[in-house]
């Protein structure tokens, strides 16, 4: 498909309880590269990401997410999408360039689930340690900690996810890839949306409390890397929530764990390629167990009930 409009997830700002401890965790356990520090915020990228940062940690009195941002094609696209959002009835705010390090103007808005979403077109490209000319397939940073290749997606919790889906599809150009139905066979429990050929770029679960984060996901290259991540989590006494296992939804292999502030994160591999003309995959309530955890075939209630 032609890549235009919204390109990909670009960054998340995550609230952490102790910034210094979190910098150590995301550097040495998760294996991200710190690219900046300014006041109560620290900036990180994965070793194979080219833009300045994909994760911002902000010291705060509670855990959770401040905002999730998507990169768009160019300044003209940013302006058009802002106008489209306004015409749809969504109030937007322009965040000035430089508010985040090495990042241009951002358009921020609140969606029906209570989350702050951003669009931006400009962020400094710092490249990868391998360079862009005759690069090796990996570098020393790929061996530091879990070492994901990118921040991949987020799963967010909130109400009115049908309104969220309509906004993402009708205005931002996403499409529905998979969904899980509740017992009535009509209402969605969860939706997976893509703006690319990935199985998902963002997902939502219906929840009474608005604006909550279930997890941030980091992409690994293979099932072997997922198993290595499990070893490193155990070696560093990281609290593992679930896995290693496989999802029915997306077919991805996965581990869920918690950082030192209680924010859940996922180390994810796989997931099929998809396109907008492919009909959405439906999971019914009687198969919700294998939809989420295909091997166990049952859903751990704590997996749904714990979020930040």
Confidence of residue 3 (pLDDT cuts 50, 70, 90): low
- Predicted local distance difference test score (pLDDT) of residue 246: 87
Catalytic, out of 26, 120, 157, 256:
256
Residue 200 annotated in active site: yes
Domain positions in the chain are 6-126, 150-305
Confidence of residue 1 (pLDDT cuts 50, 70, 90): very low
Structure tokens at 86: 């306004």
Mean pLDDT calculated for residue range 62-69:
98
Mean pLDDT calculated for residue range 100-115:
98
Question: Is pLDDT of 2 > 80?
Answer: no
The DSSP secondary structure of 248-275, one letter per residue, reads SSTT-EEEEEE-TTS-EEEEEE------
Catalytic, out of 266, 272, 275, 307:
266
Catalytic, out of 247, 272, 294, 307:
247
Residue 179 annotated in active site: no
Catalytic, out of 153, 157, 179, 307:
153
Weakest-pLDDT range from 26-40, 86-100, 128-142, 255-269 = 128-142
Residue 11 annotated in active site: no
Residue 247 annotated in active site: yes
Confidence of residue 289 (pLDDT cuts 50, 70, 90): confident
Confidence of residue 288 (pLDDT cuts 50, 70, 90): confident
The chain-wide mean pLDDT, for the chain, equals 94
Q: What share of the chain is helix, strand, coil (3-state, %, to 5)?
A: 20, 35, 45
Which phi-psi region, left, alpha or beta, contains residue 196 (left: φ > 0; alpha: ψ -120 to 50)?
beta
CA distance 282 to 296: 19
Catalytic, out of 52, 115, 200, 214:
200
**6-126 and 150-305, same CATH topology:** yes
Question: Is pLDDT of 152 > 80?
Answer: yes
End-to-end CA distance of the chain: 35
CATH of domain 150-305: 3.10.180.10
Catalytic, out of 11, 52, 215, 307:
215
Residue 115 annotated in active site: no
Residue 52 annotated in active site: no
CA distance 180 to 263: 24
pLDDT tens per residue across span 156-177: 999 999 999 999 999 999 999 9
Return the CATH class of domain 6-126: alpha beta
- Predicted local distance difference test score (pLDDT) of residue 140: 85
User: What is the b/e burial string over 202-224, where b = at least 16 CB atoms within 10 angstroms of the residue's CB?
Assistant: bbbbbbeebbbbbbbbbbbbeee
Residues 6+ apart with CB under 8 A from 229: 146, 220, 255, 267
């Amino acid at each position: 498909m032609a890549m235009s409009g919204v390109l990909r997830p670009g960054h998340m700002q995550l609230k952490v309880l102790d910034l210094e401890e979190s910098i150590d965790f995301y550097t040495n356990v998760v294996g991200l590269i710190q690219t900046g520090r300014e006041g109560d915020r620290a900036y990180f990228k994965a070793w194979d990401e080219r833009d300045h940062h994909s994760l911002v940690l902000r010291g705060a009195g509670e855990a959770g997410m401040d905002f999730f941002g998507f990169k768009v094609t160019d300044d003209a696209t940013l302006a058009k999408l802002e106008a489209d959002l306004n015409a749809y009835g969504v109030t937007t705010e322009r965040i000035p360039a430089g508010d985040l390090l090495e990042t241009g103007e951002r358009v921020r808005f609140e969606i029906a689930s209570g989350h702050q979403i951003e669009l931006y077109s400009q962020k400094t490209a710092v490249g990868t340690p391998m360079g862009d000319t005759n690069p090796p397939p990996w570098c020393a940073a790929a061996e530091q900690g879990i070492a994901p290749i990118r921040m991949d997606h987020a799963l967010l919790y909130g109400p009115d996810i049908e309104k969220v889906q309509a906004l993402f599809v009708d205005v931002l150009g996403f499409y529905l890839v998979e969904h899980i139905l509740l017992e009535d066979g009509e209402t969605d429990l969860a939706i997976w949306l893509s703006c690319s050929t990935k199985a998902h770029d963002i997902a939502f679960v219906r929840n009474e409390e608005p604006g909550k984060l279930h997890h941030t996901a980091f992409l690994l290259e293979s099932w072997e890397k997922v198993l290595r991540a499990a070893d490193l989590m155990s070696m560093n006494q990281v609290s593992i929530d679930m896995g290693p296992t496989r999802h029915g939804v997306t077919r991805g292999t996965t581990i869920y764990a918690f950082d030192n502030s209680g924010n859940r994160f996922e180390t994810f591999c796989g997931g099929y390629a998809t396109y907008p003309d492919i009909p959405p995959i439906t999971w019914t309530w009687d198969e919700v167990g294998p939809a989420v955890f295909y091997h166990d075939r049952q859903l751990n209630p704590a997996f749904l009930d714990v979020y930040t």
